[in-house]
């Protein structure tokens, strides 16, 4: 589990720079994105068809459709989803339930602001759910803005160090166990 966590953080770190590239949603749609996947997105609003990977009693994550300001909320204008996770790396506040999410979206659309995050390609299941919510969606053009803090090299190094320590401790325990087992077998 530590390996997965450390490698995921390393992957995010290698996808961009610590500083964000500020870009309008419309520009991101029409231009090829830069190599820096750490972006500050602006000039957009959040649509009404939320996309849940799973609906649970406790809110875990949601994908919110983003549309360029001035464009209608329809499938032909949907190219970006905002991925909000109730997670330690999230740069958005904790969202506890659907009503809280409705308030978050209403507040955002009333007083728009930019949002920072990491650009990603959505998994196929999310593309399918988005296409179900917005029939006619171009699934291949869809992107995600993962609303999260960008990791630092130090935080990633700490994860790798903890992983190495755990592996070394497990190896030491295995050696001690093996010695104790072999010495017990030799006793009459």
Residue, of 5 and 38, whose pLDDT is higher: 38
| 26-30, 54-58, 67-71, 148-152: range with highest mean pLDDT | 67-71
Question: Under 8 Å CB-to-CB from 60, ≥6 apart: which residues?
Answer: 54, 85, 86
85: confidence class by pLDDT, cuts 50, 70, 90: confident
Angle at 142 between CA 147 and CA 26, to 5 degrees: 75
Q: Where are the chain's structural domains?
A: 1-13+153-188, 17-149
For β-strands 80-85 and 143-146, DSSP reports them as parallel
The answer to whether the beta carbons of residues 145 and 117 sit under 8 Å apart is yes
Whole-angstrom distance, CA of residue 107 vs CA of residue 43: 15
Whole-angstrom distance, CA of residue 88 vs CA of residue 11: 17
Which tens digit of pLDDT belongs to each residue from 41-81?
999 999 999 888 766 555 778 899 999 999 999 999 999 99
Question: Under 8 Å CB-to-CB from 139, ≥6 apart: which residues?
Answer: 127, 128, 130, 131
If DSSP codes are grouped into helix, strand and coil, which group holds residue 37? Answer: coil
């Amino acid at each position: 589990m530590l390996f997965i966590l450390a490698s995921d953080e390393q992957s995010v770190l290698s996808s961009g720079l610590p500083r964000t590239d500020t870009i309008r949603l419309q520009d991101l749609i029409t231009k090829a994105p830069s190599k820096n996947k750490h972006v500050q997105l602006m000039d957009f609003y959040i649509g009404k068809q939320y996309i849940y990977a799973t609906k649970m009693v406790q809110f875990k994550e949601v994908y919110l459709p983003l549309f360029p300001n001035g464009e209608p909320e329809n499938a032909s204008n949907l190219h970006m989803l905002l991925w909000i996770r109730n997670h330690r790396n999230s740069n958005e506040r904790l969202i506890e339930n659907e009503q809280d999410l409705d308030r978050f979206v209403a507040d955002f659309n009333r007083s728009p602001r930019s949002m920072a995050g990491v650009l990603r390609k959505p998994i196929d299941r999310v593309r399918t759910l988005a296409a179900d919510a917005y029939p006619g969606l171009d699934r291949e053009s869809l992107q995600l803005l993962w609303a999260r803090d960008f990791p630092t090299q130090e935080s990633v190094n700490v994860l790798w160090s903890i992983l190495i320590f755990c592996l070394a401790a497990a190896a030491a325990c295995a050696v001690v166990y093996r010695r104790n087992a072999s010495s017990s077998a030799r006793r009459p």
